[in-house]
Structure 1
Amino acid sequence: MSALLSPESLQKIQRLDVRARMVVKGFLQGLHTSPFQGFSVQFSEHRRYNRGDDPKLIDWLVYAKTDKYYVKRFEAETNMIGYLVMDLSESMGFTESQSMTKFEYATCLAASLTYLMNMQQDPVGLITFDETLHAELPARSRRGHLGDVLSHLAKLKPTGKTNLPKSLTQLASMLKHHSLIMVFSDLWPSDDAGDDTSSSGNADLNASDLVADAISALARLKYAGHDVIVFHVLDEAEVTFPYDGPTQFVDAESGRSVSVDATGFREDYLAQLQALRDAYREGCNRLKIDYVPLDTSMPFDKALTQYLLQRQALA
């Protein structure tokens, strides 16, 4: 199934709604033969038992099937308001070794999650950001809203610069109801920080202050009572750095260029990339925010499974 849900295979399908439907169908089929059968129950009408819940609410039939404690969700819990938060920075349009750009990959994943939430009749809204926040579509669950979200997603284009901390801070101030916030971004530091460029034209990975600012902004969302998921989407070339010899890299957002000996630079680059990912992972873990690292070579059913693993770990 993973081969059918690879970015290369799905790139041949032009319609985003068809891509999303294929991903969700393949993902749910895979759940029936995986260790996560209980997820389908939890996702629809149950949630994990938490300390303080009345033990009388435990569903023992579900426990017999999953060996885990679940309770029936109350009426007010059954509809989770979700927001797709999409990074529109020009760096998201980068691709090197795959047919899908980071933005196309993120859009397909976002569409698949929208399809899943729509199956549960959960309201889903769409928000985008570059240097500031843009409210695109309000969260709704009415008939036809799935098509509105997917149509809007399909028309989005990554252009311009980005400011992740500012945009997330604006988002925390804007949302009034507890929601599921799904952030899709490459999380590269902005060029405004004055860093050097890297393989896809992004900022130097030694940007601990900017990472801290992003984590601080994510904390505002978490402390406001929102459930937050960060999908860190990178191109396969950004993860593997398949370059050799003298190579020139151009920043997608500022146009600045830098020439390096890629062979000698690879080890340092990969170490800094790992440090960046670790900084985001550790910051998110402290806040009990799901951090899901992805790259554009990963089949979409595997990407959703990675998300599920994170949800299981923090449940």
Structure 2
Amino acid sequence: MADAQNLSNPDPNSRSAIDPAALMRIKSLQLRAKLVVDGFMSGLHRSPMHGSSVEFNEYRPYSPGDDLRNLDWKLYARSDRYFIKKFEDETNRRCYLVVDQSKSMGYQSLEYTKAEYARTVAATLGYFLTLQRDAIGLLTFDEGIGEFIPARTRPGQFHQILVGLSKPVRGTGTDLNLPLQQIAALIPRRGLVILISDLLAPVDSLQQNLAALRSRGHEVVVLRTLDPAEIELHLKAPSMVVDVETNREIYLYPEVARAQYRKQFDEHHTQVQQTCDALGVQMFRLVTDEALDNALLSIVDTQNRLGKSAARGGMLAGAARMRGSK
């Protein structure tokens, strides 16, 4: 197993001190998640407030009306965002991790697959949200539903999610319909749905199911997970390639293939991005050679946006009450 002390990233400007290649050599999924979250929280200047008898718990985005004494100005100087130090449990949200385990997620040009990277991202988010006292659930899928664990806050829930994530990649194709339909049907009240997938599926089905989730009031975050070799096709000579989901063999010429591939890849990515933008869904691209704290940052950004939306909603409701009292 890799030594945790040897995971330093040589880039001093990086938010994370953990190199993803070294992190993936650690066999324990739980230890990977803990290392990423602990490093991320250290970067957020996690420390107790002087003079307070209540132990510091976590950060949350600032909302108008919050006590300015709880603002972390050092964090603002680094992130250009306002965060409040929390000293008690203020969260009570249902969060579902929806993780793609189809055969395309088994692709790799690095030492590890997209699936292994996605599992680590899911475990990291699960650990982070568990620390926030959120109810965490899991759904894995390929062309059908794999593991389903209802969102709970009971002891042992995070361990159960780790067991569900540890199942190997199976199946063939990617079907986004079933998992998103099931999540929409099973979540009784508004929550946070985090979809971790390479999204190698038709955009129409994605649009329909994301719209169904949003219509029920769920906040949705899409973490598109890609191998660097999927973004840029590097062929040095004519080659025979095999589609990992259909097993179809295709003979490619480098110059023609690179141009066609990049055009189709960019078109698909643009369609996915436009779909998410139109539905108010946040999408982030995670490349498997990048630090995993990017996934955590995406969730913090989402919470920041939710905090601002809640504040606007509160101000509008207050204004309505004032108009009604006149």
Q: What is the TM-score with the length of structure 2 in the denominator?
A: 0.76
1:254 to 228, 243, 246: 246
1:91 and 2:83 aligned: no
**How much does 1:253 deviate?**
1.6
Letter of the 1:60 partner, please give it: L
Correspondences of 1:27-66 after superposition (within 5 Å)? 27-32=40-45, 44=58, 46-49=60-63, 57-62=65-70, 65=73, 66=76
Task: Decide which of 150, 175, 187 is 2:162's aligned counterpart.
Answer: 150
Q: Name the residue aligned to 1:183.
A: 195
Larger radius of gyration: 2
* Alpha-carbon distance in 2 for matches of 1:158, 1:6: 28
Q: CA deviation at 1:117?
A: 0.8
Which letter maps to 1:259? Y
Q: Which residue of 2 aligns with 1:236?
A: 228
- AA partner of residue 211 (structure 2): A
Deviation at 1:306, TM superposition (A): 4.8
1:60–1:279: structure 2 CA closer, same or farther, 3 Å change rule?
A: same
- Gaps (5+ residues) in structure 2? 1-7, 11-16, 47-56, 309-326
Structure-2 separation of matches of 1:120 and 1:309: 15
- 1:156–1:141: structure 2 CA closer, same or farther, 3 Å change rule? farther
Q: Tell me the SS of whatever aligns to 2:174.
A: coil
CA contact (8 A) 1:91 1:158 kept: no
State the distance in 2 between where 1:303 and 1:69 align. Answer: 19
Distance 2:61 2:304 in 1: 11
Code of the residue aligned with 1:90 in structure 2: it is K
1:238 Cα shift? 0.4
For 2:44 and 2:60, the matched residues in 1 are separated by 17
Q: Secondary structure at the match of 2:115?
A: helix
Per-residue deviation, 1:262: 2.3
Confirm or deny that 1:10 pairs with 2:2.
no
Q: Deviations over 1:255-283 (max 9, x none)?
A: 11111102322122122212222211121
Change (3 A) 1:299 1:282: same
Higher mean C-alpha deviation, range 154-163 or range 258-267: 154-163
Q: Report how far residue 295 of structure 1 moved.
A: 1.3
Gap regions ≥5 residues in structure 1: 34-42, 50-54, 190-209
4+ runs of 1 displaced by more than 6 Å? 67-73
Change (3 A) 1:188 1:260: same
Report the Cα offset of residue 165 of structure 1: 2.9
- C-alpha distance 237-273 of structure 1, shift in aligned 2 (>3 A): same
State the distance in 1 between where 2:179 and 2:257 align.
Answer: 32
Give distance in 2, aligned partners of 1:256 and 1:176.
41
Q: Conserved in 2, the CA contact under 8 Å of 1:79 and 1:123?
A: yes
Alpha-carbon RMSD: 2.8
Q: Following the alignment from structure 1 to structure 2, what is the Cα–Cα distance between the partners of residues 61 and 247?
A: 63
Aligned twin of 1:109: 121
* DSSP-derived class of the 2:150 partner: strand
- SS at 2:217 equivalent: coil
CA distance in 2, matches of 1:132, 1:252: 17
- Alpha-carbon distance in 2 for matches of 1:89, 1:122: 27
Amino acid at match of 2:28: R
Query: 2:208 — aligned with what?
Result: 216
Q: Once the 2 structures are TM-superposed, how far is the Cα of residue 313 of structure 1 from its aligned partner?
A: 6.3
Q: Which residue of 1 aligns with 2:92?
A: 79
Matched residues, number: 278
Task: Tell me if structure 2 keeps the 8 A contact 1:236–1:295.
Answer: yes
Mapped partners of 2:273, 2:208: distance in 1? 13
Q: Could you tell me how far 1:61 is from its partner in structure 2?
A: 2.6
Corresponding residue of 1:277: 269
| Cα gap change, 1:160 to 1:17, in 2 (>3 Å) | same
Q: Deviations over 1:87-107 (max 9, x none)?
A: 1211110112x1110100000
1:8 alignment partner AA: A
Question: Counterpart of 2:218 in structure 1: which amino acid?
Answer: H
- In structure 2, how many angstroms separate the alpha carbons of the residues matched to 1:71 and 1:5? 26
CA contact (8 A) 1:81 1:122 kept: yes
Query: Aligned equivalents of 2:72 and 2:40: distance in 1?
Result: 24
The equivalences for 1:132-143 within 5 A come to: 132-143=144-155
1:124 and 1:313 mapped to 2: Cα distance? 20
SS of the residue 1:297 aligns to: coil
Letter paired with 1:264: V
Residue 63 of structure 1: how far off its partner (Å): 5.5
Say if 1:274 and 1:32 are closer, same or farther in 2 by CA, change over 3 A: farther
**Partner amino acid for 1:84?**
L
CA-to-aligned-CA distance 1:38-91 (integer Å, 9 cap, x gap): xxxxx9474553xxxxx6x43333458458778999x99721111111112111
CA distance in 2, matches of 1:61, 1:90: 51
Q: Is the 8 A contact 1:2 1:299 kept in 2?
A: no
1:160 to partner: Cα distance: 2.2
